[in-house]
Amino acid sequence: MTGSTVVLITGVSRGIGRGLVEAYLSRPNHIVIGSVRDKTTPYVQELESLPAAEGSRLLLIKIESTALGDPAEAIKDVEAAGIDHIDVVIANAGGTGGGAFQPLDTVSVDMMTQAFNVNALGPVVLYQAVYPLLQKSKTPKWISISSAVATIGNMETRQTHIVPAYGAAKAALNWVTVAAHSANKWLIAVAMHPGFVQTDLGNSAAKKIGLEKATTTTEECIDAITRFVDNATREKSSGKFVNVIDGTEIPW
C-alpha cells in the first residue's frame, strides 16, 4: 500500500458517511474502507459503483455497531486485502438510541444503553481494532464524529438536556477521544461537531424544534470535515472538541 492514503469511515450507507466516501474516492491514490451494517443490501451495489480517481478504490467491511466483535473481524478482512496501515479513521456511525427527544425523567434504560452501545462502546472497540494499523501510519488521525449536544459546559444555555441518551453517549465518545489523544503522543485525535446537517436524522430533529430542515447542507459538512482532516496537527487540533463548520471549540 506504499503511496496510498488509507481512510476508514464507519457508517457509509447514507448521509455524512456516504458523502465522505465519495469525497475521498474522488482523490487519486486513496484506499477508502467503508463500514456497512449489512453487505447484502441494495445500497452496497450503489457504493461499489461510485466513481474513483486514478489509483483509488473502495473496500467495504461489515460493522454493526451493536455487535462489539465486528471491528476486530473487519480488520482481519482489511489486512487480508493487503492493507498494512490506516492513515485516517473517521468514527462516523452513530444513532439516537431510538428516542432522541425522550426527556431525562422518562428516558428508558434501554434507550440509554442502545445509545451508549452505538456511540461510545462501538467506537471503543473500533479504536482497539484499528490501533495497530494506525501505529504504522506516518501521520495517524482519529476523528470522532460527535455532536454539539454532547456539551456539558453549554448544556443549560443550549438546552441540550432535551436529548439525554444521545447527548450522554456522545459525551462519553468525547472522553474516549481525549483519552486516545492523551495516551498516544503520536496520534492526532479530535472530537468533531459536523454541523446541524441535512441528513434524515438532522432534518427529523429540526422539525422537532420547529425548523423546516437542518441548517448545514451535506456538501458544506463534507467540505468542512475533509478540509479539517487535511490540516489537522497534533499541536493545533488534537484533544479538542471542534465545531468543524465555524472552527470554534465547544466546551466539554
Residue in 76, 138, 170, 236 annotated catalytic: 170
pLDDT, tens digit, 9 for 90 and up, residues 19-71: 999 999 999 999 999 999 999 998 899 999 999 999 999 999 999 988 999 99
Structural domain harbouring 123: 5-243
Q: Is residue 251 part of a domain?
A: no
Q: Is residue 87 part of a domain?
A: yes
Distance separating alpha carbons of residues 220 and 230, to the nearest angstrom: 16
Q: How close are the terminal C-alpha atoms of the chain, in Å?
A: 38
Q: Is residue 250 part of a domain?
A: no
Distance separating alpha carbons of residues 243 and 155, to the nearest angstrom: 15
Q: Is residue 159 part of a domain?
A: yes
pLDDT, tens digit, 9 for 90 and up, residues 84-107: 999 999 999 988 766 677 889 999
Q: Is residue 56 part of a domain?
A: yes
Partners of 90 in the beta sheet? 9, 143
Please indicate whether residue 43 is annotated as part of the active site: no
Q: Is residue 249 part of a domain?
A: no
What CATH number has the domain bearing residue 193?
3.40.50.720
Residue in 24, 127, 141, 166 annotated catalytic: 166
The domain tally of the chain equals 1
Distance separating alpha carbons of residues 28 and 52, to the nearest angstrom: 8
Helix (H) or strand (E) holding 7: strand 5-9
User: What pTM was computed for the model?
Assistant: 0.94
Contacts with 80 (C-beta within 8 Å, 6 or more apart), sequence order? none
Please indicate whether residue 131 is annotated as part of the active site: no
